[in-house]
Amino acid sequence: MFGRNITESAHGHQEARARVREAQLIFTTCTGSGLGLLRSEKFDIVLIDKASQQTQPESLIPLTKGCQRAVFVGDHAQFHATVQKHAVVADFDTSLFEKHYNMPDIPGVAKSNPTRKPMEIVIVTPYTRQMQILKRTLPSSKVLCIDGYQDWMADIVVFVSVRCNVHFDIGYLQDKKLLNMALTRAKSGIIFIGDRLTLTGMSEGTPETEIKAIWARLLKSCAQLQLQTDTS
């Protein structure tokens, strides 16, 4: 049916109507729910997104079509819908969503007011002495030794690899389980602080190991930021 004009033939119109009636989920605008093929359709459950941007008459269109349960999704503190000046006088710019939100609690009406929590940032390192230094340097930050804690997660994980040498020796960082733990504990993102050459490089004549290849693929997928250090 995509791209076809259903008004060109009675058969096309009937086929489209049949598909609508068979559908379990219909996406449309509030106004569109009362037009065309949907004019005579009933909706058991109505979910209105951007509900604070809908005028009251618009929201009422799908709600008056057999609706047994309604879900409004929106932000009551956002700007009102744009309407003519005379409609503002009649309070038509205030959405049905906002009116319901500001009503006293009534049976059968549930309200949810999710608040965005500050993102939790955890600094992790594989070395105990580095953890101790970071705790002294950043006393207000949460710093963990990665293998000392199993049951933790954070929005952002800052992984301090420590290792930096001309021999490309990564020591404890060869443990794939350690790297897996760092990656799977980050909910939103991970920041690596370390020396890329040490983590991915190999001595001349030495074949690339599996863990070096893993580090190379991982760091290649990251955006690189060159940090300026004061050596004076």
Dump pLDDT digits (tens) for 17-58. 888 888 889 999 999 999 888 888 999 999 999 888 888 889
Task: Determine the length of the chain.
Answer: 232
> Residue 8: pLDDT band by 50, 70, 90 thresholds?
low
Same domain, yes or no: 82 and 136? no
- The residues facing 154 across adjacent strands are 186
User: What single string gives the DSSP state of each residue in 42-72?
Assistant: --SEEEETTGGGS-HHHHHHHHTSS-SEEEE
Is 113 part of any domain? no
Dump pLDDT digits (tens) for 135-159. 999 999 999 998 766 668 899 999 9
- Give yes or no for a contact between 141 and 123, defined as CB atoms under 8 angstroms apart: yes
Dump pLDDT digits (tens) for 77-127. 666 777 887 777 777 788 888 888 877 776 666 777 666 678 899 999 999
Exposure b/e, 84-99, CB count within 10 A at least 16 = b: eeeeeeeebbbbbbbe
Q: For residue 162, give the CATH number of its domain.
A: 3.40.50.300
What whole-number distance in Å separates Cα of residue 29 and Cα of residue 45? 14
Is 230 part of any domain? no
Find the helix or strand (DSSP H, E) in which 182 lies: helix 176-184
Is 10 part of any domain? no
Same domain, yes or no: 155 and 198? yes
Work out how many domains the chain is built from and give that number: 2
Tell me if residue 102 falls in helix, strand or coil: helix
Same domain, yes or no: 70 and 127? no
Q: Is the pLDDT of residue 227 over 90?
A: no
Same domain, yes or no: 41 and 130? no
Structural domain boundaries, residue 140: 121-221
pTM: 0.50
Same domain, yes or no: 158 and 74? no
Same domain, yes or no: 98 and 139? no
